[in-house]
Amino acid sequence: MVPRSIAACQTATPDLFRTPAREPAWKHDLADAYRQAEELLASLGLSPEAIPDLDPAAPGFRMLVPRAFAALMTPGDPGDPLLRQVLPLGAERLPVAGFTRDPVGDASADLGQGLLRKYAGRALLIVTGGCAVHCRYCFRRHFPYAALGQTPDRTAVAVAAIAADPEISEVILSGGDPLMLDDDRLGVLLERLHEIPHLKRLRIHTRLPVVLPSRVTHALCRGLANSRLATILVVHANHPNELGAQAEEALQRLRRADLTLLNQSVLLRGVNDAAPILGALSERLFECGVLPYYLHQLDPVEGAAHFAVSDAQALRLGEALRERLPGYLVPRLVREVPGVGSKTPLTDAAPIGSPFL
């Protein structure tokens, strides 16, 4: 197996990953994350009374915010766009028509063992339910990870199913966040996928380089670079303020390892629903070595309706971006419609039943 490029990742080894002698720093950073809303607010010089709808006891989806991400928030600002993405609010408890627990049809696409088939030639493998940050708009906030989460045996069955289907040329690792796997487990999984001859591409959907940049270690770069599969990392940033110096360093390290880096954002009310913010995000992503890929209309997941932006406003924002940015910096404005064989471009003819009309 010949590495494509390892200039940023030191010398390749026979193994995909070399386990460090000590526990990596990113695990300490994750253990030290904020889990109580009051503690996070205090670090920003805010009292709970500054957030009238604060719901620290939000059921079923606890708060989790890495300190590196919280450090990018503006002290004293209760409307900070990064804080808004992670702070539990009472609005999450309100039932809203059209917002469901399975907004993208994962259940109907499930083949068992965490393997999903939605699109031709591609298979999505949910490798963990863990994530480093709990975004309040997450479309899988109600996903039954306990029932479908991965164990070594389940992973082996899922990989065998991929190997048995020659129509699959690309595997997408998802979760949770695939980079929550430690290097040993991730390395074993990637080696198994490398052995499947009809696979051409590996795509990893991850938010960790943005919210927990210490996860992007030299060992991780070395392992991802040392692959026969064309490897694409699809990261997730919604606001330019998320891309601080540490995130930029992590993304540039991955880019120098010859990985393709794309970004997908979610259009969120009160976070990035303004053309100057979205334009600045695209510019900042490019500075970090990442190309804008998708701007998603919010998946209508139960508990996230307060983030919704109307289709009409979304279309106006898309037009404004095309007017102010070169084409390669304009993300595709799309939504995911259950049962449809591709992402659906947002147009004036919105799908019947859309909660955003």
Decide if 252 is inside a domain: yes
Token readout for 137 is 């708009």
Beta strands of 286-339 (E only): which ranges?
291-296, 332-335
Residue 48 in any domain: the answer is: no
| pLDDT at residue 150 in the model | 52
The residue-averaged pLDDT of 47-66 equals 92
Inter-residue contact 278 to 317 (CB < 8 Å): yes
Task: Give pTM, 2 decimals.
Answer: 0.91
- What is the tens place of the pLDDT at every residue in 286-330? 999 999 999 999 999 999 999 999 999 999 999 999 999 999 999
CA distance 29 to 215: 9
**198 Cβ partners below 8 Å, 6+ apart?**
166, 168, 169
Query: Average pLDDT in the 104-124 region?
Result: 86
Q: Residue 339: give the domain boundaries.
A: 105-345
Select the more confidently predicted residue: 342 or 15.
342
Tally of structural domains, the chain? 1
Q: How confident is the model at residue 350 (pLDDT cuts 50, 70, 90)?
A: low
Q: Which residue in the block uniquely carries the two structure tokens 């863990």? A: 130
Backbone angles phi, psi at 217, to 5 degrees: -90, 170
What are the pLDDT digits (tens) for 142-162?
Answer: 888 766 555 667 888 999 999
Tell whether the model's pLDDT for residue 7 goes beyond 80. Answer: no
- Give the mean pLDDT of 331-344: 90
Could you report the per-residue pLDDT of 227-261, keeping only the tens digit for each?
899 999 999 999 999 999 999 999 999 999 999 99
Q: Please state the residue numbers annotated as binding site.
A: 131, 135, 138
Reported as half-sphere exposure (CB side, CA atoms, 13 A), residue 19 has a value of: 11
The sign of the torsion formed by the CA atoms of 136, 337, 147, 97 equals positive
| Percent of the chain whose predicted confidence (pLDDT) is above 90 | 77
Q: What is the pLDDT of residues 256-294, one digit of tens each?
A: 999 999 999 999 999 999 999 999 999 999 999 999 999
Whether the Cβ atoms of residue 37 and residue 56 lie closer than 8 Å to each other: yes
Does residue 329 sit within a domain? yes
Would you say 123 and 165 are in contact if contact means Cβ atoms under 8 Å apart?
Answer: yes
Cα–Cα dist 285/281, whole Å = 6
pLDDT at 60: 79
Quote the pLDDT of residue 9: 40
In sequence order, the β-bridge partners of residue 205 are 234
Kindly state the helix (H) or strand (E) to which residue 116 belongs, with its residue range: strand 115-116
What CATH number does residue 315 fall under?
Answer: 3.20.20.70
Q: Is residue 14 part of a domain?
A: no
pLDDT of 4 reads 46
The answer to whether the beta carbons of residues 217 and 246 sit under 8 Å apart is no
Assess whether pLDDT exceeds 60 at residue 69.
yes
Q: Residues annotated in the binding site for [4Fe-4S] cluster, as ranges?
A: 131, 135, 138
